Structure 1
Amino acid sequence: MKFRKSTMVASGGLILALLSSVSAYGQEPQTGGTLRILGTAEVDRFDTVPPATADTGSFFRATTRQLINFAASEDPAEQIAPQADLAASVPTATDDGTTYTFTLREGANWDAPDGARQIVADDVERGFMRLCNPYIPAPAVSYFEDLVVGFADFCAGFAEVEPTVEAMKAYIEESDISGIETPADDTVVFHLNYAANDFIYLLTLPVTTPAPVEVLDYLPDSPEYRENYISSGPYTIASYIPDTSLTLSRNPAWDAESDPLRNAYVDEIEVIAGVQPDAAMQQLQSGDGDMLYDINVPPVTVQMLTMQGDEKISTLAEGASRMIWINTVSDNNDGALRDPLVRQALNYAVDKAAVVQQVGGPEFATPLNGIFPLGILGHHDFEPYPTPDSQGDPERARALLAEAGYPDGLSLKMPFRNAGNGAAEAQVLQASLQEAGFEIELIPTPASDFYPRLITNFDNALNGVWDLVPSGWSPDWPGGAARSIFQPQYTYDGTHGTFNFSDYNNEAANEIAERALSTTDLGEAELLWNEVDEVVMADPPTVPLISQTTVLYHGARVENFLPYAAGGNGDWTNVWLNR
């Protein structure tokens, strides 16, 4: 497969701009060299519209830009603070939180076929239009359909269009989204149907990437799209060998002065696929590789490196968590799990410290006491059911069971996902729950059946097929993603939601959440989400277990390794190589 290669080298002004900056470690940056990224699989999507793995976020960071993005940082608070990217600044909403006006940065360019071209407001609207194309629509379109004025109508019309290049191009060029105004090339105005302060965070999603007019000549992420890739980031595609390697080189249209988030120190980035985890770790330690793509550092390796005092280990909280769901809708045990006292007993019973150790230790997880994990606006330190060192309090749990009318305990069924560390986690949970008076029947369930056939099938909850299920959740974006945790899992509007396994609903929490979303003050929003967490956990539908962290590691040549939350790894665009 051939790609249009960039032949222009970085200008002297770019080099001076790079060398004038100073890293987080106080060292002078070095430019040049090839950053080698090792992975088991290839970058699965070049287009931001189709669904992609979370790892692809690092590729999009290097080759695309969004209105809003995140800084690469070692500071957990800074990691999730929205920053202006293509936008000249992060705007404050007007019209009671329903209007956002963005001014685009001058010098932010497309690497267009006929040379560098300024990214303009129409490109932003075109990017949104592509989300609901009938050929391969973006799942994330659901975040915007009812939020942006006129977007649902635009998507409904697009659904009737024949999924061909010609028909889709014509529809986009002849239509518009009434809630996205482009009064000038450098101005985009979004009108929302209701106030939503997490709209700023939604704009960090790669699916919101502007689109140049040329991409309308190709089907989304088709071979033709890839062969004619147009970059807006500091790097563009130089070569691609499917299932083997992807090489990125400098984008000559990128202007360092227009980009406050990416420094682009290295000349090339090579992503190598087909590398097994053990081999990848060996290559990082030998200097033959620099960073990992889709490979998790094994716990035993982390323990060894920690004992050796290896300073190239770091962690990143991305908002992922584990919890136990409690079935409050079945008649098992005469509906015992409907009693808040029984659910509180379950929260006292679990040894969360043992779960932390089971997943690899404190480098990989911390005990979680609420519904919002680390890395999410709304997470805060509180203990509604405190136990010594998070090891559980079986005596307190037994006392609550007796108070609820179950002095002899309860027998409960707990299916678990029989893959990865699912069995080991289930055994740890069984041990602590049994000590507190809960007799737990473990039911191994194939991974292919666990979510699609067992716990997302509401009939199984109603019929008492399960009483407890260990589960996990990851938000679609870091930072201000409390809505993406609370709404799908902890609200019920009369229609069963796929991931609210027992139709839990709390009107008091819903009212506070509505205020948290509508305020224009993110500090106030954070305090309100704290309150939502506390209200839900006073009447707990789940037992929060752990907030998960990603362990990051890199080779000895890599300097200025800074975590990038939206990519789940170090930021390719801000490291340099000690050569």
Structure 2
Amino acid sequence: MSRKLLVPATALTVATVFALAACAPSSDDAAGGGEPKAGGTLKVLANGDVDHLDPQLVAYVPTYNVMRSISRSLLSYSASNDAAERIVLQPDLAEAVPEPSADGLSYTITLRDGITWGAPDGERAIVASDVERGIKRLCNPLISGALAGYFTGLIEGMAEFCTGFAAVAPEVDPMREYLENTDISGIETPDDTTVVFTLTKPASDFPFMLSLDAADPAPIEALDELPDSPEYRRSFVSSGPYKVADYTPDAKLVLERNEAWNPDSDPLRKAYVDSIEMTMGVEGDAAMQQLQAGSADLLFDLSPSPANIQQLKAQNDDKLSTMENGGVDQFMWINTKSPNNGGALADLKLRQALQYAVDKTAVVQTMGGEELAGVTNGIFGPGILGYEEYDPYPANDGKGDPEKAKQLLAEAGFPDGITLKLPYRNVGTQPDIAQTVQASLERAGITVELTPVPPTDYYANFMTNPENATTGAWDIALVGWSPDWQGGAARSVFQPQFVFDGTHQSYNYVDYNSDAANALAEQALAATTPEEAGDLWHQVDEAVMADSPMVSIAYRLKPNYHSERVGGFVEYAQSQNGDWTNVWLNG
């Protein structure tokens, strides 16, 4: 599943504007008492495994903490408990956040001194060709990176490079030969410390894309094995403060110090602990018991349950925290391709009836109340440039307006109501949320037939199968979405879900497209100030919601918890959790 899909426990502006002062984490802004201490083993509990250990392929939110530890990015973010500070773009391997050229088509990265690989034959400098190699690996013919699409059409010549790469045999030798001997015209490396990216069109969010591990440099050794194969994972070459010491899929991951890492070259990671041990296969309640007992420290893909949270809040436990992630946890997509009811959902009035019918406040209560969730009315969640609190379909402050919905149903030709099919993930609170939506729609004369779908099949096999849309297997469906990067991330919400250029995208379930929204998005990406970009992205939001392809319902705050012995718990925005590379152990 892509990082874009919100997984509760389970996917723009000019760089110089966002390159504001944001300090590396310190004990002053860190949760957890005491002075920083070096040493010890940080114990992390997980239910499942990482999606990948290959940076170019990573797209799962929790895995970003693993990558933060072993693979440095060109640009990144400071870990901070300040919501505004932790989404400000920061230099990592780069000396500075790059500024665009006068025409907005070029960005130059200068690599900082002292950055190194922990290579098998000894410490070696990370150089410009490693950056180019990492970008090239995004579209290898064996397994392309889930986030490759952001780069492919944007970097000049990359689409042609990837087309040629697709014709190469997915084997080590031919892939290495093609990659090392075929250039991308939009990536130049005039010397070992300089990389120049040339774009096909202005994209003020391009620097934010360079914070993705998908754009991390790749050492030459990465070409000796198939991407993310067991052999690749065993021989992973680290650029971060830790390296892979032991890995058993679905069981255990152990990271130990990378002797080649130079702390003077790294403004973002303190690397206090000596090692990190992640144990997989742990269930939620058992994990919380271990954290409270002090036999483990942090959670990977798990979160406290609503019952845990209420108990912890009653106890005023300051080890519980919540954070925004810029996502919308509950969208209700409307299937305009459904043949059911004579194709009625193609009628805007009927879709607008659904907007007024949903009791969003009831869904928020089902999700744990206002301390853990909030009502949304557009395609962007809090924390995204372009997000504004507005309500294009005002309905009693989110409680719904059944009478208005009935009026629109009648105008659409359904005075006696309509019956719709709603599948849902049969996991966690999703059945309760589906029933809450069902009850609110029924008050407006809309009968909802609920169909449970196993969570592992919901996105992978049900929602992303276009035939299920065109055959009417569903009429309305609950999904979630989280941005792929932080801050200027509106593109990563809009492009994958609400743009159709003739090629079906997995998460644009009905091939929705708006020429007006597309034009506004192009203007937003060429904007020269954050105010201009934010205003244009909000207009994109308005243009999409005018078509009513989905009902925006609620965002969810990400809850995190840690053990008593963890000091310096500061949140890393990409992983939506505490930063493994900046905590210390008090005992």
Q: Does 1:571 align with 2:571?
A: no
**1:103 CA displacement:** 0.8
Is the Cα–Cα contact under 8 Å of residues 19 and 28 in structure 1 kept in the other structure? no
Q: Does 1:140 align with 2:150?
A: no
Report matched runs for 1:501-540 at 5 Å: 501-540=509-548
Is the Cα–Cα contact under 8 Å of residues 97 and 195 in structure 1 kept in the other structure? yes
Q: Counterpart amino acid of 1:226?
A: R
- Residue of 203, 211, 216 corresponding to 1:209: 216
Q: Does 1:30 align with 2:14?
A: no
Q: Does 1:483 align with 2:488?
A: no
For residues 373 and 205 of structure 1, what CA distance do their matches in structure 2 show?
A: 20
* Partner of residue 258, structure 1: 265
Aligned-partner SS, 1:139: coil
* Partner of residue 466, structure 1: 474
Is the Cα–Cα contact under 8 Å of residues 98 and 192 in structure 1 kept in the other structure? yes
Q: Does 1:359 align with 2:364?
A: no
Distance 1:379 1:285, change over 3 A: same
Q: Does 1:346 align with 2:354?
A: yes
Q: Counterpart amino acid of 1:409?
A: G
- Residue of 325, 332, 341 corresponding to 1:324: 332
Could you tell me which runs of 5 or more consecutive residues in structure 2 were left unpaired when the two chains were aligned: 1-22
Q: Counterpart amino acid of 1:433?
A: L
Q: Does 1:395 align with 2:403?
A: yes
Is the Cα–Cα contact under 8 Å of residues 378 and 482 in structure 1 kept in the other structure? yes
Percent of aligned positions with the same letter in both sequences?
53
Aligned-partner SS, 1:390: coil
For residues 85 and 28 of structure 1, what CA distance do their matches in structure 2 show?
A: 25
**1:363 CA displacement:** 4.1
For residues 275 and 418 of structure 1, what CA distance do their matches in structure 2 show?
A: 20
- C-alpha distance after superposition, 1:286-339 (max 9, x if no partner): 111110112222111111111111111111222242111223344644554344
Report matched runs for 1:43-442 at 5 Å: 43-51=50-58, 53-318=60-325, 319-330=327-338, 332-333=340-341, 335-402=343-410, 404=412, 406-442=414-450
* Partner of residue 13, structure 1: none
Aligned-partner SS, 1:471: strand
For residues 515 and 220 of structure 1, what CA distance do their matches in structure 2 show?
A: 37
Is the Cα–Cα contact under 8 Å of residues 374 and 555 in structure 2 kept in the other structure? yes
Is the Cα–Cα contact under 8 Å of residues 73 and 79 in structure 1 kept in the other structure? yes
* Partner of residue 4, structure 2: none
For residues 216 and 455 of structure 1, what CA distance do their matches in structure 2 show?
A: 35
**1:465 CA displacement:** 4.3
Which one has the largest radius of gyration?
1
For residues 35 and 455 of structure 2, what CA distance do their matches in structure 1 show?
A: 49
For residues 383 and 20 of structure 1, what CA distance do their matches in structure 2 show?
A: 37
TM normalised by structure 1 equals 0.90
Is the Cα–Cα contact under 8 Å of residues 97 and 520 in structure 1 kept in the other structure? no
**1:553 CA displacement:** 0.4
For residues 55 and 317 of structure 1, what CA distance do their matches in structure 2 show?
A: 15
**1:86 CA displacement:** 0.8
TM normalised by structure 2 equals 0.88
Of 37-46 and 401-410, deviating more is 401-410
Is the Cα–Cα contact under 8 Å of residues 324 and 471 in structure 1 kept in the other structure? yes
* Partner of residue 14, structure 2: none
- C-alpha distance after superposition, 1:33-67 (max 9, x if no partner): 22111112344533213456332111100111111
Is the Cα–Cα contact under 8 Å of residues 66 and 85 in structure 1 kept in the other structure? yes
The aligned length equals 562
**1:121 CA displacement:** 0.7
Aligned-partner SS, 2:557: strand
Of 160-169 and 80-89, deviating more is 160-169
Of 412-421 and 315-324, deviating more is 412-421
Is the Cα–Cα contact under 8 Å of residues 158 and 185 in structure 2 kept in the other structure? yes
**1:68 CA displacement:** 1.0
Is the Cα–Cα contact under 8 Å of residues 320 and 549 in structure 1 kept in the other structure? no
Distance 1:329 1:170, change over 3 A: closer
Is the Cα–Cα contact under 8 Å of residues 355 and 425 in structure 1 kept in the other structure? yes
Is the Cα–Cα contact under 8 Å of residues 128 and 194 in structure 2 kept in the other structure? yes
* Partner of residue 6, structure 1: none
For residues 160 and 510 of structure 2, what CA distance do their matches in structure 1 show?
A: 33
Of 38-47 and 536-545, deviating more is 38-47
For residues 53 and 269 of structure 2, what CA distance do their matches in structure 1 show?
A: 19
Q: Counterpart amino acid of 2:374?
A: T
Aligned-partner SS, 1:503: coil
Q: Counterpart amino acid of 1:175?
A: T
Could you tell me which runs of 5 or more consecutive residues in structure 1 were left unpaired when the two chains were aligned: 1-17
Distance 1:446 1:575, change over 3 A: closer
Is the Cα–Cα contact under 8 Å of residues 123 and 213 in structure 1 kept in the other structure? yes
Is the Cα–Cα contact under 8 Å of residues 165 and 219 in structure 1 kept in the other structure? yes
Distance 1:66 1:392, change over 3 A: same
